[in-house]
Structure 1
Amino acid sequence: MSKIVVVIGDRLGKGQNVAKGVEAAGGKAIVIPGIGADMKLGDVMKQENADIGISFCGSGGAGAIMAQTKYGYPCQYGMRSIDEGITAIRQGKRVLGFGFMDIEDLGRKITEEYIKIKG
């Protein structure tokens, strides 16, 4: 199986810690640079043929909803914990919308779960 590609878009231009976790789990992380990066999530996922997109903003929804609306990626948003993200991956969601949670453990556990499911 090829490397899992995870695109990360953060409203404040962050996401580097989540990216470290993705890479620690064996995935390839693409962090969209700059303020408002969450709103570009669907575009970059499409361009990079990504497996998963992770969006961060205050509400945990804007970038995820935009990716779903524009490209049809199934999303779950408004999440505030890693466990919610793991459940969403198990339910077949490809775009995960969180409140601000730029933590390495999130990237690692989401990537590990996706790899476990997809084999």
Structure 2
Amino acid sequence: MKQIIVVIGDRLGKGQHVAKGVEAAGGKAIVIDGMGADMRLGDVMKAENADIGISFCGSGGAGAITAQAKYGYPCQYGMRSIDEGITALREGKRVLGFGFMDVEELGKRLTEEYAKIRG
């Protein structure tokens, strides 16, 4: 079975805790380096043939909306909880936009949920 690839783009260049959660769930995490990383989320997802993209910024929207507009990835943004992200995955979204939430549990639970959805 193909490993789940999750790209993480954080406006402040963070995302390392989410990446630990992705890896704890058996996925491969790619954290985009540098400030404004959320705005490059779609580009890196396309280059890496990623399954999920996670964008973090104050509103939780800029990187997710950009990935959708540029590459057509279905997105949900403005989320503030892990459960909202799980619901979005169940609804077929591939790019998830959150306010700043660099927590390991987020990466772990989203990766586990996507594995269930994918079968």
Instruction: Tell me the TM-score normalised to structure 1 length.
Output: 1.00
Matches within 5 A, 1:1-119: 1-119=1-119
Residues 18-37 of structure 1 deviation map (CA, whole Å, 9 limit, x = unaligned): 00000000000000000000
User: 1:115 Cα shift?
Assistant: 0.1
Provide the C-alpha distance between the structure 2 equivalents of 1:10 and 1:18, rounded to a whole number of angstroms. Answer: 10
Partner AA of 1:37 in structure 2: A
Q: Gapped runs of 5+ residues in structure 2?
A: none
Aligned residues: 119
Provide the C-alpha distance between the structure 2 equivalents of 1:91 and 1:33, rounded to a whole number of angstroms. Answer: 29
Provide the C-alpha distance between the structure 1 equivalents of 2:26 and 2:88, rounded to a whole number of angstroms. Answer: 20
Provide the C-alpha distance between the structure 2 equivalents of 1:96 and 1:108, rounded to a whole number of angstroms. Answer: 14
Provide the C-alpha distance between the structure 2 equivalents of 1:91 and 1:18, rounded to a whole number of angstroms. Answer: 21
Q: Gapped runs of 5+ residues in structure 1?
A: none
Tell me the SS of whatever aligns to 1:100: coil
Identity, % of aligned positions: 84
Provide the C-alpha distance between the structure 1 equivalents of 2:40 and 2:113, rounded to a whole number of angstroms. Answer: 24
Tell me the SS of whatever aligns to 2:60: coil
Residues 40-62 of structure 1 deviation map (CA, whole Å, 9 limit, x = unaligned): 00000000000000000000000
Tell me the SS of whatever aligns to 1:85: helix
User: 1:84 Cα shift?
Assistant: 0.1
User: 1:104 Cα shift?
Assistant: 0.1
Runs of 4+ in 1 over 4 A off after TM superposition: none
Partner AA of 1:117 in structure 2: I
Tell me the SS of whatever aligns to 1:7: strand
